[in-house]
Amino acid sequence: MAAAPKSNDVKTEARPLEAAAIAKDVLFTAILAFIILGPILGLKTFAISGSLALEQRWGLVAVFAAIAAAGRLAYHLLVWQKPQARPSKAASASFLPAISFGKYLVPVVLILAIALPFLPGVDRRVVDLAILILTYIMLGWGLNIVVGLAGLLDLGYVAFYAVGAYAYALLATIYLPAWFGDGIVPWAFFITLPIAGILAALWGVILGFPVLRLRGDYLAIVTLAFGEIVRVILINWSDFTGGPAGIGGIPRPSFFGLPFTDGEGGFAAFFGLDFKPIHRIIFLYYVILVLALLTNFVTMRLRRLPVGRAWEALREDEIACRSLGINTTSTKLTAFAIGAMFAGFAGSFFATRQGFVSPESFVFLESFIILAVVVLGGLGSQIGVVIAAIVIIGAFEVFRELNFLKAVMPAGFDPVQYRMLAVGAALVLIMRWKPRGFVTRREPSVVLKEKKAISTDLVAEGHG
Amino acid sequence: MAASGQDALLRVEHLSMRFGGLTAIGDLSFTAARNDITAIIGPNGAGKTTVFNCLTGFYKPTEGSVILTHEDGKQFLLERMDDFRISQQAKVARTFQNIRLFAGMTVLENLMVAQHNTLMRASGFTVTGIFNSPTYARANREAIEFSEHWLEKAGLVDRADDAAGELPYGDQRRLEIARAMCTKPVLLCLDEPAAGLNPRESEDLNGLLLNIRNEQKIAILLIEHDMSVVMGISDHIVVLDYGVKISDGSPAEIRSDPAVIRAYLGVEDEEEAEVVVERAVAAVAKKPAGKKVAAKKPPARKKGGRK
Ligand SMILES: Nc1ncnc2c1ncn2[C@@H]1O[C@H](COP(=O)(O)OP(=O)(O)OP(=O)(O)O)[C@@H](O)[C@H]1O
Ligand SMILES: [Mg+2]
């Protein structure tokens, strides 16, 4: 080796630990595991005729200690030498996929997405799944503005999704018919969509104000609480929101006034087609596709505008921003508002697709999944969100399909029950392997001579 | 050539800044003239950066006022303004002692962010900009040209599309100055721009700063430990120690004793410097030239005048 080892870097040098050292370390792991697990697994209390008795299970502890030791051994043999292979910051930039890769990927994916409902072998189930994935892509792109660009960690994003959904549900079932008569109902979706977006944006600003001065963990906690507050209000304000029972009978979307019904005046009759229920599904698919593409287009455009650059600058260094005359208050508020607006759009789409909304749909888990989509994709990356949404939502669905496991595993085993566990484990593994998400390059928003991708190792994650 | 009276660009009057029991600045008054490079020097912890933070709104001073007068006679009371408004309206730009670039953005993007307010107006606060209105397209082009202009001055054109965080240290320092200049300031505040530069880079920096003063007609407020920079280019020097002004005048006045010249331009040894400083008419920074990165050991201080 030509390079002299750095003084405090010896462990990561290409010097595998000798067998004796490994054996010692593995033994130590086993002992440590035994000590830690002893009280947890080794002693079990149970009630016997009104008093507590202790059952000792040292054999079980030994089994688990052995598993820990085996894992440690595997770690030594398989992983330990790896760090020296890790490229330096500068070097990793050159390993980034060329930007031209994206040039071909994007049109191909786009054409596939447009043609999807008519591809052979694509049935209702597939289109339904595609709609679900597109909804999460749209939500991911919306949240990407707040978390990925502006660097503001928002754990309550689902609140804006809820605002959009309830805005459509309430307007379409109660207020629009009351104000303008029943004739308006087929148009309700298109009328309400902008209103839902504006309302959600307004809530974005309402959330934005109190959290302006908060950073990092504190911001995350308050946004988390905000998400819960909105849900609790939806549950408890029964007169207005229908309470836990939610709102049903929400008008389904029409094809610009033509309902998807059998017979006279329906979509199928108007175009001389045979009536099929899938027409509505396909229409919904295109609605969400257009909405998602709109979100993407607007975000890409905003990135090239001063407001988008200010968001990214805010993520990089808030103090420097202020020294350059950027009003960080309004910059943060616009990020919250525009991110929330897209969630509002997605929310009204959700309401019209389901025909039913209830607070059940807007739990923290949803916020978490959307955030996971953004983080896993690579903060700030648009294409990363697409990949991550397909991976995560796809993984959930795959678990529904694993029925053959039921045959192999003991009775009562239901793979669906394990999906959160598996997805959680997958997230941990992916973050271990790719800590900055799938896409680890940032595209510059403006170019003087030659476009070069920036390694996200250099990009700040934001601090609130 | 301390500017007197109303003609001054910047008037600092009885400025005090206290942090709990610690008086970082005590009753400081000085002026900075238009088209001058005014240096603020003093040993570590003298309160120089705190003065900048008060001028640029990052700290609200405990007492005193800071008045900036534009050429058209418009006055700004900086101590009452928000930090971002000071840059936006009063046109005071600054750099930071520990460089604050947008590391994950390209060099060009850094300069474009600095032109945020101009571009924001041109983009109709995003509403028309999103449709790429002709006004915005033109403003955007002009902003890129203006950035390129400053990249040339800072010698960074070749690195325009690289991430700012990838640049070597000296380039980052110059980029931060170029970025501050892209806000089109009337007063540029530089906090130790020569720190960590090698002698050649330091020489280039002098050229850049003189160019900013002579060609752009922009006043500079300069904090610096490197005496070759301070003595070489400043028109007026204010010396701080423990937050109190101990000397104020032209470089010639500050170093009226020839021994001071030796002390700040050549003496390597702190002991010797202390002796020299004791003999000096005005005591200035205790850091010998050539030792530019902030030293952790307590700086030599002159005797007397301590609380
Ligand atoms: N926010 C703060 N809170 C408390 N004390 C502070 C704060 N900012 C500065 N100080 C104190 O004020 C004094 C002056 O600090 P300042 O950073 O202005 O020194 P300086 O002259 O810039 O020194 P250096 O040459 O090391 O940069 C120091 O004692 C410092 O600890
Ligand atoms: Mg300082």
pLDDT digits (tens, 9 = 90+) for A334-386: 999 999 999 999 999 999 888 888 888 888 888 888 988 888 888 878 888 88
Q: Which amino acid is at B289?
A: A
pLDDT tier for residue A35 given thresholds of 50, 70 and 90: confident
Interface contact flag, A449 B160, Cβ < 8 Å: yes
Residues B3-37 as b/e (b if ≥16 CB within 10 A, e otherwise) read: beeeebbbbbeebbbeeeeebbbbebebbbbbebb
pLDDT tier for residue B147 given thresholds of 50, 70 and 90: very high
Spacing, Cα B19 to ligand 1 middle (Å) = 10
pLDDT the model gives residue A48: 78
Spacing, Cα A311 to ligand 2 middle (Å) = 28
The answer on A155 and A21 residing in a single domain is: no
Would an 8 Å CB–CB cutoff place A461 in contact with chain B? no
Spacing, Cα B41 to ligand 2 middle (Å) = 10
Of A307, A312, A446, the CB nearest to B144: A446
Interface contact flag, B126 A309, Cβ < 8 Å: no
The dihedrals phi and psi of B81, each to the nearest 5 degrees, come to: -100, 150
pLDDT the model gives residue A390: 87
| Spatial separation of the C-alpha atoms in residues A320 and B89, rounded to whole Å | 17
| Spatial separation of the C-alpha atoms in residues A413 and B167, rounded to whole Å | 57
pLDDT the model gives residue A10: 40
| Spatial separation of the C-alpha atoms in residues A37 and A43, rounded to whole Å | 9
Domain extent at residue A267: 125-458
Interface contact flag, A458 B83, Cβ < 8 Å: no
Chain B residues near residue A319 by CB distance under 8 angstroms: 58, 96, 100
The answer on A330 and A249 residing in a single domain is: yes
Chain B residues near residue A445 by CB distance under 8 angstroms: 105, 109, 112
Chain B residues near residue A299 by CB distance under 8 angstroms: none
The answer on A149 and A286 residing in a single domain is: yes
**ipTM at complex level:** 0.79
Number of domains in chain B: 1
Number of domains in chain A: 2
The answer on A453 and A400 residing in a single domain is: yes
- Side-chain-facing half-sphere of A354: CA atoms under 13 Å: 20
Per the domain annotation, does B304 fall within a domain?
Answer: no
Residue with tokens 């908060």: A214
Helix, strand, or coil (residue B96): coil
Interface contact flag, B129 A305, Cβ < 8 Å: yes
Q: In sequence order, which residues have a C-beta less than 8 Å from that of residue A160 and are 6 or more positions away?
A: A200, A203, A204, A339, A340, A341, A343, A344, A347
pLDDT digits (tens, 9 = 90+) for B51-85: 989 989 888 888 888 888 888 888 888 888 888 88
Per the domain annotation, does A214 fall within a domain?
Answer: yes
In B, minimum Cα distance to A327 occurs at B84
Per the domain annotation, does A394 fall within a domain?
Answer: yes
The answer on A129 and A74 residing in a single domain is: no
C-alpha dihedral (A165, A168, A170, A173), degrees to nearest 10? -130
Per the domain annotation, does A215 fall within a domain?
Answer: yes
Residues B253-291 as b/e (b if ≥16 CB within 10 A, e otherwise) read: ebbeeebbbebbbebeebeebbebbeebebbbbbbbbee
The answer on A286 and A341 residing in a single domain is: yes
Q: How many helices (H) and strands (E) would you count in chain B?
A: 11, 10
| Spatial separation of the C-alpha atoms in residues A76 and A199, rounded to whole Å | 55
Spacing, Cα B45 to ligand 1 middle (Å) = 5
Q: Which of A52, A84, A116 lies at the terminal end of a domain, its last residue?
A: A84
Per the domain annotation, does B179 fall within a domain?
Answer: yes
Per the domain annotation, does B217 fall within a domain?
Answer: yes
Spacing, Cα B191 to ligand 2 middle (Å) = 7
Q: How far is A258 from chain B (nearest CA, A)?
A: 32
Residues with Cβ within 6 A of ligand 1? B 19, 22, 24, 42, 44-50, 97, 294
Spacing, Cα B233 to ligand 1 middle (Å) = 25
Radius of gyration (Cα) for chain A, nearest Å? 27
- As given in the structure block, the two tokens for residue B121 are 């107006």
- For the segment A263-277, the average pLDDT, to the nearest whole number, is 69
| Spatial separation of the C-alpha atoms in residues B66 and B25, rounded to whole Å | 13
pLDDT digits (tens, 9 = 90+) for A177-201: 778 777 777 777 888 889 989 999 9
Per the domain annotation, does A98 fall within a domain?
Answer: no
Per the domain annotation, does A96 fall within a domain?
Answer: no
- As given in the structure block, the two tokens for residue B306 are 């301590």
pLDDT digits (tens, 9 = 90+) for A49-81: 778 788 888 888 888 888 888 888 888 777 665
Q: In sequence order, which residues have a C-beta less than 8 Å from that of residue A397 and are 6 or more positions away?
A: A129
The answer on A146 and A293 residing in a single domain is: yes
Portion of chain A with pLDDT greater than 70, in percent:
83
- As given in the structure block, the two tokens for residue B248 are 């104020």
Q: How far is A457 from chain B (nearest CA, A)?
A: 8
| Spatial separation of the C-alpha atoms in residues A155 and A328, rounded to whole Å | 21
pLDDT the model gives residue B35: 84
Residue B203 has pLDDT above 50, yes or no: yes
Helix, strand, or coil (residue B217): coil
Q: How far is A329 from chain B (nearest CA, A)?
A: 10
| Spatial separation of the C-alpha atoms in residues A103 and A105, rounded to whole Å | 6
Portion of chain A with pLDDT greater than 90, in percent:
16
Would an 8 Å CB–CB cutoff place A310 in contact with chain B? yes
The dihedrals phi and psi of A332, each to the nearest 5 degrees, come to: -65, -45
Query: Pick the residue with more confidence: A320 or A117?
Result: A320
Per the domain annotation, does A102 fall within a domain?
Answer: no
CATH number at residue B178: 3.40.50.300
Of A390-404, A416-430, B91-105, B260-274, least confident by mean pLDDT is: B260-274
The answer on A136 and A46 residing in a single domain is: no
- Looking at ligand 1, which residue's alpha carbon is closest to its atom 5? B19
Distance of CA A236 to the CA centre of its chain: 27
Nearest partner of A31 among A75, A65, A81, judged by Cα: A65
Q: Which of B86, B102, B184 to mutate to test the interface with A (most CBs of A within 10 A)?
A: B102
| Spatial separation of the C-alpha atoms in residues A342 and A294, rounded to whole Å | 9
Per the domain annotation, does B294 fall within a domain?
Answer: no
Of B85, B86, B106, the CB nearest to A454: B106
Give the A:B interface size as CB pairs under 8 Å.
146
The dihedrals phi and psi of A41, each to the nearest 5 degrees, come to: -100, -35
| Spatial separation of the C-alpha atoms in residues B100 and B91, rounded to whole Å | 19
Measured from the alpha carbon of residue B95, the closest ligand is: 2
Residue B5 has pLDDT above 60, yes or no: no
The answer on A267 and A192 residing in a single domain is: yes
Pairing of strands B219-223, B37-41: parallel
Instruction: Give the Cα-Cα-Cα angle A460, A461, A462 (nearest 5 degrees).
Output: 90
pLDDT tier for residue B96 given thresholds of 50, 70 and 90: very high
Are B103 and A458 in contact by the 8 Å Cβ rule? The answer is yes
Per the domain annotation, does A429 fall within a domain?
Answer: yes
pLDDT digits (tens, 9 = 90+) for B238-267: 888 888 887 787 877 777 645 444 444 444
The answer on A146 and A202 residing in a single domain is: yes
Q: Which atom of ligand 1 is nearest to the CA of B43?
A: 25
Domain extent at residue B168: 5-286
Q: Which of A89, A99, A304, A324 to mutate to test the interface with B (most CBs of B within 10 A)?
A: A324
In B, minimum Cα distance to A329 occurs at B84
Interface contact flag, B58 A320, Cβ < 8 Å: no
Are B144 and A446 in contact by the 8 Å Cβ rule? The answer is yes
Per the domain annotation, does A104 fall within a domain?
Answer: no
| Spatial separation of the C-alpha atoms in residues A210 and A219, rounded to whole Å | 10
